[in-house]
Structure 1
Amino acid sequence: MHDIRAIRENPAQFDAALARRGLSPLASEILALDEARRAAIHAAETAQADQNAASKLVGAAKANGDEAEFERLRALVAEKKSEVAAMQAEAGRLDAELRDKLLWVPNSPLDEVPQGADENDNVEVRRWGTPRAYDFAPKEHYQLSAVGKAMDFETAAKLSGARFVVLKSGVARVHRALAQFMLDLHVDTHGLTEAITPVLVRPETMLGTGQLPKFAEDSYETTNGWWMIPTAEVTLTNFISGEVWDEAALPARMCAHTNCFRSEAGSAGKDTAGMLRQHQFEKVEMVTICRPEDAIAEHEGMVKRAEAVLEALGLPYRRIVLCTGDMGFGAQKTYDLEVWLPGQNTYREISSVSTCGQFQARRMNGRYKPAAGGKPEFVATLNGSGLAVGRCLIAVLENGQEADGSVTLPAVLHRYLGGKTRLVDGVLV
């Protein structure tokens, strides 16, 4: 959420940031509402002061035996009390209206973020690895004979409907191995703190990271008001919600492996084949909570940690910096990592790593106490996939496919697979 004081001080800068995202100016509308809110608060405070002053005189009039003055003052106190209640209610209404309006406004992009309208204006930063040359036509993951019946969409459809999958036998174990490998790498090598978090959360938890109210239709709500998380960013970032941490606790770098749930609203007919876009999937998510001045360096470090997973698996990828028109709601800057999928003959997103500045912290009132003293300040938050497990499985299967129909698995996974090195007809060998 934006700082209303910053909008007051530089409304032109606020509108310019919105323009970079292709949005219309909002500063004048927000400031008019803010002015009305502050006027209502001042009026309520003035009426409260008048009520307090009159209340003090009531007792004196009673003690002096001045019954007429006593009755006049008592009526005045009652009148002011009613005025105060009405004015406080109006101030509260305007405050809620201003907060609601600000909750719908996206974060401001950093100056270095490239200007653009959509994904076609994203900028490639670097590539790693060379896509393998095949002497046969590579297939997509769900077409591979090596997978066999261990990737079962029919049973999943019977159980749950479209965009679900049942993984079995060797494919299920490779999927589990990938998640375990990612966690071990992030915890043992990168020094992240692992957490196991709920996947059902309160609405205010979703609001804190920006999934609500704007993206309600993209998520699932239970009948008793819980929301199913679309990513562990929601839970991990909210660790600091409503709290003030000591500066010595920062940066806090965390990771979690969870099931994730997305309704995929608005994506009908897109990526329906295979398990590229599912309603339920697994991710190993990374979150960092730090001082605002450290956020840029932390962003670079986080994307390198995600890249390290792909490099260890030997998967070619490219790093993209998203343009202003393709960047997420809460992000100041985002890098996407796209892994090479030979079956599609293209790169596809497997990780999105964003720095959000103090945007989420303001929504959830997450602050830290500077070691040098002074008032608590809002923290900065970052999040990134490290990685999407299902998409990583797809990449491992497609990049490791052989002419005989088997899949050769990355060496770093062998110890998680009981020493098995290949997948044949859904079975590890």
Structure 2
Amino acid sequence: MSNVAVIAEFHPYHNGHHYLFEEAMSLSHADHAIALMSGNFLQRGSIALWDKYTRAEMAVADGFDLCLELPFVYATGSAGDFADGAVAILKNLHAIDYLAFGVEEAEPDVFEQVAEFLTEEPENYQLALKQALKVGVSYPRARQTAIAAICGDSAAALLKAPNNTLALSYLCAIKKLHANIRPIFIKRISNDYHDTDLQAQISSATAIRTALAKGTDFSALAAQVPPATYLRMETPDHTYLSDAMLTPFVQACRLREPELSDICDISPALADKLQHAPYPIDYEVLVEQLKTKDITRSRIARALLHLLLGYTESDRQKFIGSGYACYANILALKKESSSLIRQLHESSMIPVITKKADFDTILSAYPAIDTELARTMWQYDLRATELYNCIYYNHYGITLPNDYTRKLPVL
């Protein structure tokens, strides 16, 4: 029995994801497809449109056999942390044969060449990177400049597109972690990642979110998403979250004058700017004011999330030092996936969590796992759900179930 995995955010789940699923199954000839999905907060520092269980349910309704959660500490990390954490989980399941991901141009040889440089970081690459950073540009831009100097402009062009950047991060993680997982390159057929206009059938997630924010008639989105996603959109209580809703929470957090020195992604320079930012200030305005040519908007948004949940650089280093993976948390699954679940329980080197209340009991059966560290990571996931639920309640006056009271979606 072979299995293919997809790492995604499903923000929201749309036709592009359906295409990715179908191509992954077709090219891998796998028996099962597993999604490893970000939880309630995302890699660019954003709030997920819908909660993690709802989005996981959409993926399973569209064909995935199982949806696992990528822990908060990796879901809101840099592209490197995001990929390393995800690949480490898939590797430790000892059941994943393939990893499928979207790219702008399906050129495996070029991707492999660039990934080799990024993984090995030879002396000439390190020198070119340092020279680029001296100019004061952001790390992603400096990395692109260094690759251009060594591998040429065509190779460096891969780093310009978000999907390519993540694809390279996955390849680097597979190499670095010595994961016995074969990559599958799937060329995107939708519009650009950042495009805000709806297309005929496959639009970017950005375009769909933009349409929702503008109050576009839901019927215009029917052709853009699978049935399960559209049903969620057209329900009378259709509600979703946006980054602007973080404003009161960030304001309240700043009023406490928290210690910033060990918060993940907050550098001394960013801490100084944050401490001197005015009150009151809208979240989006604050992010724009904090942004500089060497600190990207995404990093600032991630830093503010880490501040809200107290995610420290010290904990990050501990997670990395432990090998990244502490557990695999199931968010949704098919009724017919019993054989897959059984395979995971038999082969996995990390706990596979179905019933959240049994976390400690399940964890105790894996003596090789650092119990204290796993619980720390788990607490970040729980707090992320509580923060999401607080934002939801603050805006809609509706109480969502937490991770212990939420019934696991089984379709």
Q: Please give the range of the TM-score, normalised by the shorter of the 2 chains.
A: under 0.3
TM-score, with length taken from structure 2: 0.22
- What's the TM-score, normalizing by structure 1? 0.21
Q: Which has the higher strand share?
A: 1
* Structure with a larger share of its residues in helix: 2
**Could you say which structure has the larger radius of gyration?**
1
